[in-house]
Structure 1
Amino acid sequence: MQIMPFEEAKTYRFNPFDLTKVWPHADYPLIEVGKLTLNKNPTDFHTQIEQAAFAPDSLVRGIGLSPDKMLLGRSFSYSDAHRARLGANFAQIPVNRPKSPVHSYSKDGAMRVDNVSDPVYAPNSYGGPHADPSLTDDAGKWHADGDMVRSAYTLREDDDDWGQAGTLVRDVLDDAARDRLVSNIVGHLKGGVSEPILKRAFEYWRNVDKTLGERVEKGVREG
């Protein structure tokens, strides 16, 4: 994982919540937080894969959502999608069932298997579930400097469409990887693409990297 202090995120040279960008490791080195070991395959694809329901709003204490607009949208839409796909009680399917007891207002619905004994209304005086914002960071609130609005991001110094892609081609890929990239692009463009589209494609790849664009055009023209 990588960590960017909140104050630095306000003025970083490109918007750190832009999904088309990565945080350079030179600025924010990777921090090892654990190891994920894949040691077995599912035995039943439907029950263990097709019915899996992951949602970014399933957060443990101390972790909150960033101003990433895609993440914020997914935080409320994923759970709705799971209910439509798997039913109101998708969280009781074994592949989704939490390891620790969960107290919620959930009750009834098709295919429910857990009996409800606690009151499912609030407020109540019978020991039922209730919200406790004090358990989260700053009572569940955080400052976003106006980022949580329905408008485009404000562009910053390095917020462009080509910079990081060019860095990937020139500084990250080796010669063999660059050769494979050119070969793949050329192969697709030689499949009956019209001349106007070809010109746009050549310009596109020149914007990423001038040499790459020239190699792509040469490969298509001379192939």
Structure 2
Amino acid sequence: MVFKVYGNRDYAASKRVATVLLEKHVPFELIEVDSASGEHKSPAFLEKQPFGQTPYIDDDGFILYESRAICRYIATAYAYQGTSLIPTDPQENALFEQAASIELTNFDPPALAAIFEGFYRPVVHGEATDTLALTEHMKKLGSKLDVYDVILGKQRYLAGEEVTLADLFHLPNGELLLDIGCNFLSARPNVARWWKDISTRLSWLSVKDGINSTT
């Protein structure tokens, strides 16, 4: 059975999953969910994803939702192929989990808040951007990225010298931040070096402008 991703070709969380599938050389089919018509809130969809959010995956009958959980599953279920994205050594794995937690708790909240103000509010909701709020969100994000710059001044990636899921998790929202004019790379040379490294990976370049099935 073909690995199936039920999601949206242009949505950040779906791109996160597709990037990891490409890193792990797992062929997949994207099943486009018509969110505009409310398909993600239909009874059939809610049976698989009770929160009515995309994406979820079907791997030969195994259903899983939440993009970061899906990425962890892919990296472990297909550990024997593609890029090794989760360390197996206990201490290296702990450092990976630390880095993954940093992304989830320190980067993602201010990044999503800034993206909402700079993109979703004007483009999706047709409302005026609250520029003061956007500035404040970017300021909070900047303080976190200043710490990133210190960490990345000591090692190549957030968990050490090898790329992991923790790095790749940043890609979709990092790209959106750049799109709304939040140049988080400015004056942070180590962050800029790291971002250039992860954002030029073939996996990300293949999905950043939209996901296509590989089967």
| TM-score calculated relative to the size of structure 2 | 0.23
Which is greater in Rg? 1
Greater relative CO (CA pairs within 8 A, separation 6+): 2
Relative to its length, the structure with more helix (as a share) is 2
| TM-score calculated relative to the size of structure 1 | 0.22
